[in-house]
Amino acid sequence: MKSPAVVSILAVAALSLLGPPGGSSVANGPAGLYFEQSTLVRSAGVVEGPGVVSRVWYAGRRMRMEAGDAPGGPALVLQLDLGKAWRLDPEQKVATEIDTARLREKSRMDASLAGDLMGGAQEGRVRVAPLRAPKTIAGHACRGYRLTGPSVVLDLYLAEDLPVGVDAFAEFIEWSGAGQSMAGILVEVRKLKGFPLQTRSRVTVLDRVHETLSTITTVRVGPQPPGLFEVPAGWRVVADTPDSEKE
């Protein structure tokens, strides 16, 4: 069974590297971005489950994420400009407002522990090398890079023909509270040029290898409907309940 810290750090990595919800790079370029990605997780060489398909929309400092085979399911909506976030339940027409301060603190603590396990928390401990074979992903030519730390290997394939880059996710990482804990990895990733269309991470914890492969299958640059980043009219809004109070 995976360590919860490893699960958290892989989730953060997927969001940060493949779903760039920051503001600076995109705010100065296109009005928005939409992409679809598939994610597979392996533990000790065994695939865990059928994988996850997800969709991401974002415009400037607003972002929407959905998981599942069909659009219109449960979603996470972030308004980084206002510091707000909601989980949307379309079946119940309920929007749960997330306590962002508690979310950031939990993310910071999990990322700190996982960062130590991965050996990527300190600057200067991560090596970067180009990969020889290029790839074409979602119709875009990509260059590959390998980042290696004491317990983690991260392969990135980046497309340079899209008007977004790896720096676009920086604000989200800082907002999530994970930036300091992942400093060594993030410093090197931010030096790369292009938008990551594929990310493969291999993390070794207690002699067990956990691997996550995320690949963008569709990407479209352009304006996104503002309503995607709002709570739908007529929905009931409720406060999030801490796990300790749910028991």
Average pLDDT, integer, range 209-234:
91
pLDDT at 3: 36
Which CATH number belongs to the domain containing residue 136 in this structure?
2.50.20.10
Residue 245 lies in a domain: no
pLDDT at 139: 95
Residue 57 lies in a domain: yes
**Amino acid in the structure at residue 225:** P
Residue 71 lies in a domain: yes
More confident residue, 228 or 149: 228
Secondary structure E strands in 44-83: 46-47, 52-59, 62-67, 75-79
Residue 244 lies in a domain: no
CB 33 within 8 Å of CB 220 = yes
Residue 63 lies in a domain: yes
Residue 246 lies in a domain: no
CB 228 within 8 Å of CB 64 = yes
* pLDDT range class, residue 5, cuts 50, 70, 90: very low
pLDDT, one tens digit per residue, over 26-36 is: 333 445 888 89
Least confident of 41-45, 131-135, 230-234, 235-239: 41-45
In whole angstroms, give the CA distance from residue 236 to residue 228.
17
Query: DSSP for 2-16?
Result: --HHHHHHHHHHHHH
More confident residue, 71 or 78: 78
pLDDT at 206 over 60: yes
Residue 175 lies in a domain: yes
CA–CA–CA angle 82, 240, 246 (5° rounding): 160
In whole angstroms, give the CA distance from residue 81 to residue 152.
33
Least confident of 90-99, 182-191, 209-218, 225-234: 182-191
pLDDT at 246: 53
Residue 131 lies in a domain: yes
Q: What is the pTM of this model?
A: 0.75
Average pLDDT, integer, range 138-153:
90
Residue 143 CB-density burial (10 A; 0-12 exposed, 13-18 middle, 19+ buried): middle
pLDDT, one tens digit per residue, over 19-70 is: 333 333 333 344 588 889 888 888 877 877 778 888 988 787 788 989 877 7
Q: Which domain holds residue 59?
A: 4-239
The structural domain count of the chain equals 1
Secondary structure E strands in the chain: 33-43, 46-47, 52-59, 62-67, 75-79, 84-89, 94-97, 127-137, 140-148, 152-159, 195-205, 208-221, 236-239
